[in-house]
Structure 1
Amino acid sequence: MPAGGGSQAAPDRPRVPDVDSTGWLAETRDSYDTVAADYVELVRDLLADAPHERAALALFAELVRAAGGGPVADVGCGPGRITAHLHGHGIDAFGIDLSPVMIEIARREHPHLRFEVGSMTNLALADASVAGVVAWYSLIHVPDDEVSSVFAHFRRVLRPGGPLLLSFHVGDESQLKTQGYGGHPMKVHVHRRRPARMAAWLRAAGFTVEAETVVSSPESKLGGILFARWHP
């Protein structure tokens, strides 16, 4: 789900990040807290029928190792399934999410991995502290005017040469989602974007886009995947 960043909290009581109680971050956090239990069941096995997305994640893991290895931030990790998948590829992955309930579930389902609460709009990670960043369909609720700031945070926390993997829904429209997983109420905007637009934002943030593709999978009827990295 969309989110990211934060500092380590006690395993049984994730810290709730300080966000504007009336803004889109608060609405996103509250919405995913509400649907978390149903969401985890709906997405649990999506990768099993998504060979192209599994291949993208395997390539990302290979690029992390080729760049020297190290910790990898799964930003907007939700219940931690992508974090765990990367761990299965031998990657030192940890998860970050805005929703405290999602983090509780992630810690329960993957007790051997590290999960933190926070916002991708203000990543509480040190400069050049991670070997890779993945944002797996977790930018879809971020407004257009916030994306560049998020990418600036990604660049700040990445080590030079570390890969960035993004996936997102492809399209031109934004829709308000008022009912979600399990029929629970939500209030989030779902933004669909063209790969060229995402690539342009990445380049403006100082990244080099190395590869892009679109896929159709259980995760997204039309999903975009971008690989990028930056060099000083």
Structure 2
Amino acid sequence: MTDDAGSDVRVRKGYAARAEEYAQLFGDIDQMDADDRERIARWAEGIDGPLLDAGCGPGHWTAFLAGRGHAAEGIDLVPEFISLATARYPGVPYRVASLAEADLQEGSLRGVLAWYSLIHASPDELPSLLAAVRSALEDGGALLLGFFDGPDGEPFPHAVTTAHYWSVDGMSALLEESGFSVIDRETRVPTGARPHASISAVAV
């Protein structure tokens, strides 16, 4: 579910082969961590305008936001995920696109959710993706980013394809270099899972 041409083919193939399995394991909002639901709901509360769920997977977070009254759209580069999302949540807009090639008008969004959708981007690729997010957001627009907490840029063998850790300090620095101001950060270690981190930021 990454959004860079350098990794698109590898990631698309990896998730396409396991889309049904992934959706069964992680494709329902009730399967998500309660802290994640609270975090995303609280982040979106103050946003009035179009939201993009970048790398939406099987569409559950997009539908969660739409169900709370937000004008949310989901994009993903994996066609199988978009087919599943459209079937599961027929009233929510989804389309096949990568963040870098989504034809998003500059300053057209009030918010972008990138919840574990940039984890497969290499350290060389990530800055351009953050720049694409910044371009799509209007000044003052909000970003919520979820990722695996760990040594900056260190690769690890994710179940689908190689992913990368980032520390909150390292990711915060990348965001600030990309035109964001960090609002808040959180880390925790879910039971039986890798360390989690998220950062809320605004476009400046």
Q: Please confirm whether the aligned pair reaches a TM-score higher than 0.5, indicating the same fold.
A: yes
Partners of 2:20 and 2:149 lie apart in 1 by: 27
Q: Which consecutive unaligned segments of at least 5 residues does structure 2 have? A: none
Aligned residues: 202
Match of 1:73 among 35, 52, 59: 52
1:30 aligns with 2:50: no
**What do you get for the CA RMSD once the two structures are aligned?**
1.9
Structure 1 length normalisation: TM-score? Answer: 0.81
Higher alpha-carbon Rg = 1
SS in 1 for 2:162: strand
Q: Is the 8 A contact 1:3 1:99 kept in 2?
A: no
In structure 1, what is the Cα distance between the partners aligned to 2:108 and 2:50?
Answer: 8
Contact 2:29 2:60 in 1 (8 A): no
Equivalent residue in structure 2 for 1:215, among 188, 194, 204:
188
Question: Distance in 2 between the 1:35 and 1:45 partners?
Answer: 16
- Is the CA contact (8 Å cut-off) linking 2:27 and 2:59 kept in structure 1? no
Structure 1 49/119 Cα, relative in aligned 2: closer, same or farther at 3 Å?
closer
The structure 2 residue matched to 1:193, chosen from 153, 166, 170, is 166
- Work out whether residues 174 and 192 of structure 1, in 8 Å CA contact, stay in contact via their aligned partners in 2: yes
TM-score (structure 2 length as normaliser): 0.91
Pairs within 5 Å for 1:123-202: 123-172=102-151, 173-177=154-158, 180=159, 186=160, 188-202=161-175
**CA separation of 1:138 and 1:125: change in aligned 2, threshold 3 A:** same
- Residue 138 of structure 2 aligns to a residue whose secondary structure is coil
Letter in 2 for 1:230: A
The more displaced of 51-60 and 39-48 is: 39-48
**Cα distance in 2 for residues equivalent to 1:110 and 1:104:** 10
For 1:202 and 1:47, the matched residues in 2 are separated by 30
State the partner residue of 1:2: 2
Q: Does 2:92 match 1:113?
A: yes
More relative contact order in 1 or in 2 (CA 8 Å, sep 6+)?
Answer: 1
Task: Report the Cα distance in structure 2 between the residues aligned to 1:202 and 1:170, rounded to whole angstroms.
Answer: 15
